């Protein structure tokens, strides 16, 4: 598909600076080869994340001017509450400043004793970190198709149901604090989860009386994939699909900086207000702010209420997933390997296959990310072994199942011409792929190391 119908027109532009290759080499070296430490003004095309980087609509900006900044009980909170309850069908909705804040207040309540396990189709980095910080142990159970980037399947983000049952049996039901379904499954390429798989996971959770949580950052994209790919859903709206999908879970956390197309915000929802809610409310008040604003300004709440509806618009979603498909098709022209089919929010280049001479412990995904910045000023990020923190018990480096470089596409920001630049730059890198070096860490924090670590080009050495 070469034509992407864009359901909007551009009313304002932001100039971006085009640097030279020599400037970029100096900038990335000064940043200790960590893209997060670059100044945004030194980046030409920013594909580091789709979180909070989208362009808000005129309706969202208008809503912000009407935001009620009352400390408690503001109008904007109740407008958001009504919208979220209608979309998700949940009784209790708590705004927070972003998705990781929802995890921060939920997991200490869910994990009742140190050492309990939380199982997911795949955890993303902050979710994995918050489970660990709350004293729990995260375990991934993604379906086998999700671990083969060359194999095309419609729902590669699914939970591996036999593995889920086996882990529960091995660890003991009393030692499993919760199950998390991440939609779309970010770490395996923005791949969707089917309604059938969600229903089956819900049945397992209910049978064992284990809470089922949705990590709902990209719920609208997942709903659109179900509409496109799953039998019986072609004639259902994305709103209807979302309502059904969330009906299978007990709780959801959400970064609203993705599918609600806001620059800041998050949600925590509980289907039926019950025993955990008072404890969560206490943590929200202590760490985020009063429950009716949850760390957000009234104008942020107002933009979020509008964005939730805009994110479910099917013309918009068709364009949204179409951009990722277009970039994937351009990569096919250059023979660049990536997780197929392209995901909803990003294209995940398989750096392990593109740079097979770089061992996993020298982070091929990160190496390709650095090279892409040097080549064309494009900022991306590693979704691989560099993203994985060290094992909290042994201190050893952990190997990810796949070594990806993620090209996350901000919503309503870049044109097809920008995507063409990225594809052409990767084509140039492929021509000299064997010259690309790996990296080693010279300093790292204990948790979420990829955000602030310092690195340097590496010579081949054994893993420590």
Tens of pLDDT, residues 91-136: 999 999 999 999 999 999 999 999 999 999 999 989 999 999 999 9
Closest CA to 34 of 402, 423, 460, 448: 448
| Rounded Cα gap, residues 34 and 450, in angstroms | 8
| Residue 410, φ and ψ in degrees, nearest 5 | -60, 150
The pLDDT value recorded for residue 3 is 66
Taking 80 as the threshold, does the pLDDT of residue 24 lie above it?
yes
**Residues in a beta bridge with 142:** 159
Q: Would you place residue 65 in the very low, low, confident or very high pLDDT band (cuts 50, 70, 90)?
A: very high
Contact 72, 290 (CB under 8 A): yes
* CB-facing half-sphere around the CA of 42: CA atoms within 13 A: 19
What is the DSSP pairing of strand 439-443 with strand 454-457? antiparallel
pLDDT averaged over every residue in the chain: 95
**What are the tens digits of pLDDT across the range 364-373?**
999 999 999 9
**Residues in a beta bridge with 268:** 94, 253
Q: What percent of the chain has pLDDT over 90?
A: 93
Closest CA to 29 of 366, 369, 374, 351: 374
The pLDDT value recorded for residue 272 is 87
Cis peptide, bond prior to residue 432, ω within 30 of zero: no
Q: Which residue has the higher pLDDT, 64 or 276?
A: 64
Q: Where are the beta strands (DSSP E) in 260-320?
A: 266-270
The pLDDT value recorded for residue 460 is 65
Q: Concatenated DSSP letters for 386-404?
A: TTSPPPTTT------SS-E
Mean pLDDT confidence for 332-344: 97
Q: Would you place residue 2 in the very low, low, confident or very high pLDDT band (cuts 50, 70, 90)?
A: low
Q: Would you place residue 174 in the very low, low, confident or very high pLDDT band (cuts 50, 70, 90)?
A: very high
Taking 90 as the threshold, does the pLDDT of residue 461 lie above it?
no
Taking 90 as the threshold, does the pLDDT of residue 148 lie above it?
yes
Mean pLDDT confidence for 308-315: 97
| Rounded Cα gap, residues 66 and 97, in angstroms | 19
Cα 369–chain centre separation:
17
Q: Where are the beta strands (DSSP E) in 282-363?
A: 346-350
Q: Which long-range contacts (CB under 8 A, 24 or more apart) does 365-368 make?
A: 365/403, 365/404, 365/405, 365/406, 366/33, 366/405, 366/439, 366/450, 366/455, 367/436, 367/437, 367/438, 367/439, 368/405, 368/429, 368/436
Task: Please identify every residue annotated as catalytic.
Answer: 71, 124-125, 215, 217, 258, 450
**What are the tens digits of pLDDT across the range 189-228?**
999 999 999 999 999 999 999 999 999 999 999 999 999 9
Taking 60 as the threshold, does the pLDDT of residue 48 lie above it?
yes
Taking 70 as the threshold, does the pLDDT of residue 353 lie above it?
yes
Terminal-residue alpha carbon distance, the chain: 45
The pLDDT value recorded for residue 463 is 66
Say which CATH topology domain 21-50+313-457 has: 3.90.1150
| Rounded Cα gap, residues 259 and 24, in angstroms | 32
* CB-facing half-sphere around the CA of 69: CA atoms within 13 A: 4
Cis peptide, bond prior to residue 184, ω within 30 of zero: yes
Contact 348, 189 (CB under 8 A): yes
| Rounded Cα gap, residues 353 and 350, in angstroms | 6
Taking 80 as the threshold, does the pLDDT of residue 464 lie above it?
no
| Rounded Cα gap, residues 372 and 263, in angstroms | 26
Pick the CATH number of 58-310 from 1.20.1060.10, 3.40.640.10, 3.40.50.720, 3.40.50.300: 3.40.640.10
The pLDDT value recorded for residue 115 is 93
For the chain, which residues make up each domain, given as ranges? 21-50+313-457, 58-310
| Rounded Cα gap, residues 453 and 386, in angstroms | 10
DSSP H or E stretch at residue 46: strand 45-46
The Cα diameter of the chain in Å comes to 60
Q: What percent of the chain has pLDDT over 70?
A: 98
Residue 70: Cβ within 10 Å count: 14
**Residues in a beta bridge with 440:** 456
The pLDDT value recorded for residue 462 is 67
| Rounded Cα gap, residues 134 and 61, in angstroms | 37
Residue 437: Cβ within 10 Å count: 17
Which burial class, exposed, middle or buried, applies to 128 when counting CB atoms under 10 A from its CB (0-12, 13-18, 19+)? buried
The pLDDT value recorded for residue 222 is 98
């Amino acid at each position: 598909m070469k034509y992407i119908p864009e359901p909007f027109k551009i009313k304002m532009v932001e100039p971006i600076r085009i640097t030279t290759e020599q400037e970029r080499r100096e900038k990335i070296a000064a940043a200790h080869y960590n893209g997060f430490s670059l100044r945004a003004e030194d980046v030409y095309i920013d594909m580091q994340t789709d979180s909070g980087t989208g362009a808000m609509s005129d309706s969202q900006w208008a809503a912000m001017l009407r935001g009620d900044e009352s400390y408690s009980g503001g109008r904007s909170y109740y407008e958001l509450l009504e919208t979220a309850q209608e979309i998700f069908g949940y009784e209790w909705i708590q705004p927070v400043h972003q998705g990781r804040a929802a995890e921060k207040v939920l997991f200490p309540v869910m994990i009742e004793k140190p050492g309990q396990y939380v199982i997911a189709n795949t955890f993303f980095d902050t979710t994995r970190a918050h489970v660990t910080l709350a004293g729990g142990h995260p375990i991934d159970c993604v379906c086998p198709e999700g671990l083969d980037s060359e194999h095309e399947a419609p729902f590669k983000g699914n939970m591996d149901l036999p593995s889920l049952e086996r882990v529960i049996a091995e660890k003991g039901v009393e030692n499993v604090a919760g199950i998390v379904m991440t939609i779309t499954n970010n770490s395996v390429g923005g791949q969707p989860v089917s309604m059938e798989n969600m229903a089956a996971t819900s049945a397992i959770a209910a049978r064992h009386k284990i809470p089922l949580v949705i990590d709902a950052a990209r719920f609208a994209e997942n709903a659109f994939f179900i509409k496109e790919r799953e039998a019986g859903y072609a004639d259902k709206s994305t709103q209807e699909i979302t309502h059904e999908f969330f009906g299978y879970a007990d709780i959801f956390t959400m970064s609203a900086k993705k599918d609600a197309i806001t620059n800041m915000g998050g949600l925590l929802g509980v289907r039926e207000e019950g025993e955990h809610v008072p404890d969560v409310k206490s943590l929200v008040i202590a760490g985020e702010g009063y429950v009716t604003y949850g760390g957000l300004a009234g104008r942020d709440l107002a933009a979020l209420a509008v964005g939730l509806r805009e994110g479910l618009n099917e013309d918009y979603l068709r364009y949204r997933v179409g951009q990722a498909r277009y970039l994937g098709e351009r990569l096919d022209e250059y023979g660049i390997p990536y997780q197929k089919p392209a995901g909803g929010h990003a294209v995940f280049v398989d750096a392990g296959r593109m740079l097979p001479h770089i061992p996993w412990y020298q982070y091929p995904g990160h190496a390709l990310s650095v090279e892409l910045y040097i080549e064309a000023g494009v900022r991306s990020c590693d979704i691989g072994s560099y993203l994985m923190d060290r094992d909290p018990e042994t201190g050893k480096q952990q190997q990810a199942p796949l070594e990806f470089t993620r090209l996350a596409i901000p919503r309503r920001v870049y044109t097809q011409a920008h995507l063409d630049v990225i594809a052409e730059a990767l084509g140039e890198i492929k021509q000299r792929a064997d010259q690309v070096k790996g990296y080693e860490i010279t300093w790292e924090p204990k948790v979420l190391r990829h955000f602030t670590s310092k690195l340097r080009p590496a010579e081949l050495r054994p893993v420590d």
